[in-house]
Amino acid sequence: MTMDRFVDTPSKRRCAWVVLTACLLFAGAVQNGKLGLSILPVERYDELFELLSSRTLSGSYLSRTIYTVISQASITPWIIAKAVFASLQFFEISLIVITGGFLFMKGKDSKSRRWLYVGLSSFVILLLLCIWCVCQGLSAVSLNMVIDQLHIIGLLLIVQSGFQMLTCLGAIYCCIMYDYLPAMRVTVEYIEE
């Protein structure tokens, strides 16, 4: 029995791609969850600046994007779009490439792919809500209003990351149980001439 047996048909390769995409999305959700948990305890001015200097912010794509946006003199849609692309690092670029391959993958639309579409959609909605909260925080007149917006962002991150983790686990479960196990019943015979 060779390793080829696990990916020797298009349906098995699609399943492997779905599992890889789900694992990467799960890792991104863990980063966002850690960021949300680090934002929630902030209550005072010194804690806010301690958070800004922590390594947690540099590890999350959303925090890098938000930090780039708030460091600008004015906010326009062009500046937000520039920040979205300037904040990309290797992990996010590989996630985009693999997820892009997943989105354009041919084959039947399965339950596992629907789970991942829901997870991806929730991330896009989260990004838009966080940018809206940042804009609200930038127009705040007191530090307490800024901290309130940070708490909202932290709660959004925690809820969305939990939801995205569940969708990723649902995608992996559906892929293995409904797509991969039936595909493993197919045996490919190689004919040598």
187: helix, strand or coil: coil
Judging by beta carbons within 10 Å of its beta carbon (0-12, 13-18, 19+), is residue 128 exposed, middle or buried?
Answer: exposed
Q: Residue 167 is encoded by which pair of tokens?
A: 């969708």
Confidence (pLDDT) at 178: 77
Q: Rounded to whole angstroms, how far apart are CA atoms 81 and 168?
A: 27
Q: Residue 146 is encoded by which pair of tokens?
A: 């800024």
Q: Rounded to whole angstroms, how far apart are CA atoms 181 and 170?
A: 16
The answer to whether 27 and 94 have CB atoms below 8 angstroms apart is no
Q: Which residue carries 């966002």 as its tokens? A: 32
Running along the chain, 193 residues long, what does each successive block of 10 average in pLDDT? Answer: 64 79 86 86 80 72 76 78 83 77 65 75 80 77 82 87 88 80 67 71
Confidence (pLDDT) at 6: 65
Confidence (pLDDT) at 41: 87
Q: Which amino acid is at 137?
A: G
Confidence (pLDDT) at 152: 87
Confidence (pLDDT) at 120: 77
52: helix, strand or coil: helix
Q: How many CB atoms lie within 10 A of CB 71?
A: 8
Q: Rounded to 10 degrees, what is the CA torsion of 166, 16, 107, 27?
A: 40
Q: Rounded to whole angstroms, how far apart are CA atoms 48 and 45?
A: 5
Judging by beta carbons within 10 Å of its beta carbon (0-12, 13-18, 19+), is residue 173 exposed, middle or buried?
Answer: middle
pTM: 0.74
